[in-house]
Amino acid sequence: MMVNICYNVNLMNPSRIFFVILLVFFIVSQPKAFAARGGNEKLHGVFQGMTQEKFFRAYPRKSARTYREDENGQWITFNEPLKGPVLHMATFHVQQGKVAGWTIDDRDEVVDEYLGEFCSQGIIRGMPKIYAALKEVLRRISLPDFLNVTDRRRPVLVTEYYDSGTARFANTSEIISSAEDAPAGEMGLTIIKLSSALNDADSPLPIEGVLAHELAHRVLDHARKGRVTCNAEREANGKVRQWGFAEEFKAASKMFGHKEGEPVSCREE
Ligand SMILES: [Zn+2]
């Protein structure tokens, strides 16, 4: 869990209560079909009703991709298959000490698990448009690229910075791990920093365009390759279109324009 501590933001204020109400509403209004698989089926020896002790012997916690817990139990996602090339994701629901069921490639659930851990609470609680756009982009990118950017061995952390108020001078984001969380970051990490001004956009499209563009840089590994050229920008924009965000990219270009001093050759229509 990534918690943001900001100089001028009081986390105990009514927005926290609002968040809890929103969360309760979300849980009540969207019962997840977690017993979609299970029944008489088996997945690598796991069956519905299996005790969690046995389950975690087959699927060790330290091998999990992501993890989430609430009053209805634990949701733990693993690579499917657990060893070898990753083709899918399997999310298991453990309730009252037993496996209640599982789903394959439940993107919405995995996005929730992932962002609960690697997105700042400043965004989750205080920048709802950015948070919604982030979820939308992660839901829509291709599965191989999603598996890549949410690989906890090299996670993408998303946090905010402020371009106004006293927090523009300094603020802190804190990652909190629980004993249940698998290790993370052994292959480094990527930090995407988003301006508070992004949350002022009237439509989600430009925010999604910007987020998809930043994720494309990560997928194409531009920072590690030292590629900060116009070609890299074009390559990233190509990836954004390939993911199906052409309209969002256009909206982002229109709203946020181009970097100051950026050569004309970097510009795209
Ligand atoms: Zn770029």
Tens-digit pLDDT profile for residues 90-117: 999 999 999 999 999 999 999 999 999 9
Cα of 2 vs centre of ligand 1, distance in Å, is: 25
Q: What is the mean pLDDT of residues 181-196?
A: 95
Cα of 189 vs centre of ligand 1, distance in Å, is: 18
Q: Which of the four pLDDT bands, split at 50, 70 and 90, describes residue 176?
A: confident
- Cα–Cα distance, 93 to 75 (Å, whole number): 5
pLDDT for residue 266: 65
Amino acid at 195: S
Q: What is the mean pLDDT of residues 220-228?
A: 89
Q: Which of the four pLDDT bands, split at 50, 70 and 90, describes residue 29?
A: very low
Cα of 120 vs centre of ligand 1, distance in Å, is: 22
Cα of 77 vs centre of ligand 1, distance in Å, is: 31
Cα of 214 vs centre of ligand 1, distance in Å, is: 6
pLDDT digit string, tens, across residues 9-27? 444 455 555 555 554 444 4
Using DSSP's 3-state secondary structure scheme, residue 179 falls into: coil
Cα of 222 vs centre of ligand 1, distance in Å, is: 9
Q: Which of the four pLDDT bands, split at 50, 70 and 90, describes residue 257?
A: confident
Q: Output 40 or 208, whichever has higher pLDDT.
A: 208
Residues by chain with Cβ below 5 Å of ion ligand 1 = 233
Neighbours of 124 (CB within 10 A): 20
Which H/E stretch holds residue 2? strand 2-6
Distances (CA, A) of 261 to 197, 250, 257, 268: 20, 20, 12, 15
> Is residue 219 over pLDDT 90?
yes
pLDDT for residue 60: 96
Cα of 91 vs centre of ligand 1, distance in Å, is: 33
pLDDT for residue 256: 83
pLDDT digit string, tens, across residues 124-146? 999 999 999 999 999 999 999 99
> Is residue 32 over pLDDT 50?
no
Amino acid at 76: I
Q: Which of the four pLDDT bands, split at 50, 70 and 90, describes residue 228?
A: confident
pTM, entire model = 0.83
pLDDT for residue 16: 52
Q: What is the mean pLDDT of residues 168-173?
A: 92
Cα of 109 vs centre of ligand 1, distance in Å, is: 29
pLDDT digit string, tens, across residues 76-94? 999 999 999 999 999 999 9
Q: Are 4 and 127 in contact (CB under 8 A)?
A: no
Q: Which residue from 25, 27, 196 is spatially nearest to 126, judged by alpha carbons?
A: 196
Phi/psi for 101 (5° steps) reads 160, -175
- Cα–Cα distance, 158 to 130 (Å, whole number): 10
Cα of 123 vs centre of ligand 1, distance in Å, is: 21
Distances (CA, A) of 154 to 135, 189, 191, 207, 266: 19, 5, 10, 24, 29
pLDDT for residue 124: 95
Q: What angle do CA 262, 268, 269 make, to 5 degrees?
A: 135
Please provide the average confidence, as pLDDT, over all residues in the chain.
86
